[in-house]
Amino acid sequence: MQDMKDEVVLVTGAASGIGAAVARGAAERGAAVAVFDRDPAALDSVAGSLADAGLDVAAVAGDVRSPDDARRAVEAVRDRWGPPDHLVNAAGIMRPGPARDLSEADWDESLDVNAKGVFVMSRAVVGDMVARSRGSIVTVASNAAGTARAGMAAYAASKAAAEMFTKCLGLEVAGHGVRCNVVAPGSTDTPMLRALWRASGADPRGTLDGTPEAYRVGIPLRRIASPDDIADSVLFLLSDRAAHITMHTLTVDGGATLGT
């Protein structure tokens, strides 16, 4: 499959989970892929694995919250392959806990990484896209952005901000041929979800069945998503097959939010 041949993709949060799956999927489709993350060791491991498979990849360590790191990443991509054709905002953190007990540090970091990071990285790439009248951005948000979740106020609020920023940007640049979309995953088998299970004492069965006392339904399709499930949706929205889709949120949660 070479439907992204000669295209350049920058993926944040690419050291693990959904970001790593998107990077691999894009590279396997023929794209040149820059993987960006603040965990240099894990990032080098992902990049090394892709390079060993004969795929065209480069690792750039940095923090999505830093405009300097964002500019440096885009410059590294431009110097190697040319300007990015696509950006995937997959970096994210979760700081769970009741809203009334959240620390300011947890709140601030959630908004910084999950929302400001999307702003910083999108701003760094969109100028080139507008100048060339082509390009696409996909932000990985969450189904929690549109559905209240107990114990997830900071995460849900930050993802809602990222989602709406992406759509507003999409409106502003649509006339230049640049598309901006959102993928909203539900429970996905990533290090983040496994850490949440450990912290809360939950398990896959509870996620599938739901938690009535927390007003949370389960997953009608009766399976936890894999990172590849989410990556496939991201890659579709990047592709020419989605050429007439912009400012859209594609929810990929096995029915956990009941189609809302």
Pairwise CA distance, residues 163 & 147, whole Å: 13
Compute the average pLDDT of residues 41-65. Answer: 98
Residue 177: the pLDDT is 98
pLDDT at 122 over 70: yes
pLDDT band at residue 206, thresholds of 50, 70 and 90?
confident
Pairwise CA distance, residues 73 & 95, whole Å: 27
Looking at this protein, which amino acid is placed at residue 63?
D
Domains of the chain are 8-188+227-252 (3.40.50.720)
Q: What is the pLDDT of residues 123-139, one digit of tens each?
A: 999 999 999 999 999 99
Q: What is the pLDDT of residues 30-40, one digit of tens each?
A: 999 999 999 99
Pairwise CA distance, residues 128 & 85, whole Å: 9
What residues are annotated to the active site? 155
pLDDT band at residue 203, thresholds of 50, 70 and 90?
confident
Q: Which residues, in sequence order, are CB contacts of 36 under 8 Å at separation 6+? A: 10, 11, 12, 13, 14, 43, 59, 60, 61, 62, 64, 73, 91, 121
Residue 1: the pLDDT is 57
User: Which of the residue ranges 17-26, 62-71, 207-216 would you say has the lowest mean pLDDT?
Assistant: 207-216
Compute the average pLDDT of residues 166-193. Answer: 96
Pairwise CA distance, residues 19 & 39, whole Å: 13
Q: Are 165 and 118 in contact (CB under 8 A)?
A: yes
Residue 200: the pLDDT is 79
Residue 214: the pLDDT is 87
Residue 82: the pLDDT is 97
